[in-house]
Chains A and B, each alone.
Chain A
Amino acid sequence: MRHEIICAGIGGRGVLLASTILIEAAIKSGLKAVASDEYGMSQRGGSVVSLVKVGDFASPFIGRENGGILLAFEESEFYKALLFLKKGGLALVNTRAAELPPSIAGLLEKREITCRLVDGDGIARQTGMFQSANMALLGFFAAFGITPFTKEVLEETIRSRVPEKFLAKNLEVFGKGFDAATKMGAAGDRRTDIV
Chain B
Amino acid sequence: MHSREDVVIGNQAIARGLVEAGLEIAAAYPGTPSSEILPGVVYFKNMEGSRIHTEWSTNELCAFEVAFGAAAYGGARAACFMKQVGLNVAFPALMRSREKSIEGGLVIVSCDDPGPQSSQTEQDTRLIAALFGIPVFDPSSPAEAADVAYHALTWSFENKVPVIIRSTHRVSHARESVPLYHPGTRKVILKEGHVAGAGRKLGIVASGMSCSLVYDVIEELGASDEVSLYKVLKVYPVDDALGKFVDSMERVLVVEETDQVIEALIGDARKVMGRRDGTVPSAGEITYDIVRDILSRVLAGEGGSARDPFVPDGGIEEALSHVAVVPRPPKLCPGCPHRASFFAMQYLWPDAIYPGDIGCYTLGISQGAVDTCLDMGAGVTLAEGFYDAFNQDGKLVPILASIGDSTFLHACMAPLYDAVKNRKRFILVIMDNSTTAMTGMQPTPQTGITVDGTATRGVAIEDIVQGLGVNFVRVVDPYDVPAMIRTIGEAFDRLKEEPLPAVVIARRECLLLTKGAVKDAGYPADIERDCIGCKSCLKTFDCPAMSFDEASKKIRIDDSLCTNCGICYYACPVQREGKALKAAKKAGTP
**Contact surface of A with B, Cβ cutoff 8 Å:** 10, 12, 20, 23-24, 27, 32-38, 40-47, 56-66, 76-77, 79-80, 82-83, 87, 101-104, 106-107, 110-111, 121, 130-131
Residues of chain A within 8 A of B173, CB atoms compared: 36-38
**Contact surface of B with A, Cβ cutoff 8 Å:** 5, 7, 9, 117-118, 140-141, 170, 173-177, 209, 211-213, 215-217, 219-220, 287-289, 292, 310, 312-313, 315-323, 325-326, 328-334, 362-363, 437-438, 511-512, 544-545, 560-561
A76 to chain B, nearest CB (A): 4
Cβ A43 vs Cβ B325 within 8 A = no
Cβ B333 vs Cβ A43 within 8 A = yes
Cβ B312 vs Cβ A65 within 8 A = yes
Q: CA–CA, A10 to B560, complex, Å?
A: 11
Knowing A59-B212, A63-B292, A101-B323 touch, does A45 contact B141 (C-beta < 8 A)?
Answer: no
Other A-B pairs, 4, CB within 8 Å; known A64-B288, A82-B320, A104-B322: A23-B176, A59-B216, A61-B170, A65-B312
Closest A residue to B210 by beta carbon equals A59
Residues of chain B within 8 A of A36, CB atoms compared: 170, 173-175
Which of B219, B334, B544, B560 is the one whose CB lies under 8 Å from A121?
B560
Residues of chain B within 8 A of A10, CB atoms compared: 328
Residues of chain A within 8 A of B334, CB atoms compared: 44-45
Closest B residue to A10 by beta carbon equals B328
Q: CA–CA, A94 to B318, complex, Å?
A: 23
Residues of chain B within 8 A of A110, CB atoms compared: 315
Cβ A59 vs Cβ B209 within 8 A = yes
Cβ A34 vs Cβ B141 within 8 A = yes
Residues of chain B within 8 A of A62, CB atoms compared: 288
B327 to chain A, nearest CB (A): 9
Q: CA–CA, A87 to B316, complex, Å?
A: 11
Residues of chain B within 8 A of A76, CB atoms compared: 325-326, 328
Q: CA–CA, A95 to B321, complex, Å?
A: 20
Residues of chain A within 8 A of B292, CB atoms compared: 63
Closest A residue to B319 by beta carbon equals A107
Cβ A103 vs Cβ B322 within 8 A = yes
Cβ A61 vs Cβ B213 within 8 A = yes
Cβ A45 vs Cβ B333 within 8 A = yes
Q: CA–CA, A47 to B325, complex, Å?
A: 12
Cβ A41 vs Cβ B322 within 8 A = no
Closest A residue to B287 by beta carbon equals A61
Knowing A63-B220, A63-B289 touch, does A37 contact B325 (C-beta < 8 A)?
Answer: no
Q: CA–CA, A103 to B332, complex, Å?
A: 33
Residues of chain B within 8 A of A46, CB atoms compared: 328-331, 544
Q: CA–CA, A32 to B143, complex, Å?
A: 12
Closest B residue to A56 by beta carbon equals B219
Knowing A36-B173, A37-B173, A107-B319 touch, does A45 contact B220 (C-beta < 8 A)?
Answer: no
Q: CA–CA, A149 to B216, complex, Å?
A: 23
Cβ A41 vs Cβ B288 within 8 A = no
Residues of chain B within 8 A of A66, CB atoms compared: 220, 288
Residues of chain B within 8 A of A33, CB atoms compared: 176-177
Knowing A40-B330, A59-B209 touch, does A45 contact B561 (C-beta < 8 A)?
Answer: yes
Residues of chain A within 8 A of B315, CB atoms compared: 107, 110-111
Closest B residue to A34 by beta carbon equals B176
Cβ A58 vs Cβ B216 within 8 A = yes
Closest B residue to A64 by beta carbon equals B289
Residues of chain A within 8 A of B312, CB atoms compared: 64-65
User: Which of B141, B312, B319 has most A Cβ within 10 Å?
Assistant: B319
Q: CA–CA, A44 to B360, complex, Å?
A: 12
Cβ A42 vs Cβ B215 within 8 A = no
Can you list 25 A-B contacts (CB < 8 A)? A20-B7, A20-B175, A27-B5, A32-B177, A33-B177, A34-B176, A37-B173, A37-B174, A41-B438, A42-B332, A45-B334, A45-B544, A45-B561, A58-B141, A58-B213, A58-B215, A58-B216, A64-B310, A65-B310, A65-B316, A79-B320, A79-B323, A79-B325, A80-B325, A83-B317
Cβ B316 vs Cβ A83 within 8 A = yes
A110 to chain B, nearest CB (A): 6
Cβ B560 vs Cβ A35 within 8 A = no
Q: CA–CA, A192 to B329, complex, Å?
A: 35
B63 to chain A, nearest CB (A): 23
B440 to chain A, nearest CB (A): 9
A157 to chain B, nearest CB (A): 10
Q: CA–CA, A118 to B474, complex, Å?
A: 51
Cβ B174 vs Cβ A35 within 8 A = yes
Knowing A58-B141, A59-B212 touch, does A27 contact B323 (C-beta < 8 A)?
Answer: no
Closest B residue to A59 by beta carbon equals B212
Closest A residue to B512 by beta carbon equals A43
Q: CA–CA, A45 to B334, complex, Å?
A: 7
Q: CA–CA, A83 to B363, complex, Å?
A: 28
Knowing A37-B9, A62-B288 touch, does A104 contact B331 (C-beta < 8 A)?
Answer: no
Closest A residue to B218 by beta carbon equals A58
A17 to chain B, nearest CB (A): 12
Knowing A37-B173, A42-B544, A46-B544 touch, does A57 contact B216 (C-beta < 8 A)?
Answer: yes
Cβ A43 vs Cβ B328 within 8 A = no
Q: CA–CA, A58 to B174, complex, Å?
A: 11
A44 to chain B, nearest CB (A): 4
Residues of chain A within 8 A of B288, CB atoms compared: 59, 61-64, 66
A30 to chain B, nearest CB (A): 11
Closest A residue to B510 by beta carbon equals A43
Cβ B174 vs Cβ A82 within 8 A = no
Residues of chain B within 8 A of A80, CB atoms compared: 325
Residues of chain A within 8 A of B321, CB atoms compared: 103
Cβ A41 vs Cβ B212 within 8 A = no
Please provide the 4 A-B residue pairs with the shortest distance between their CB atoms, ordered closest to farther.
A45-B544, A41-B330, A107-B319, A59-B212
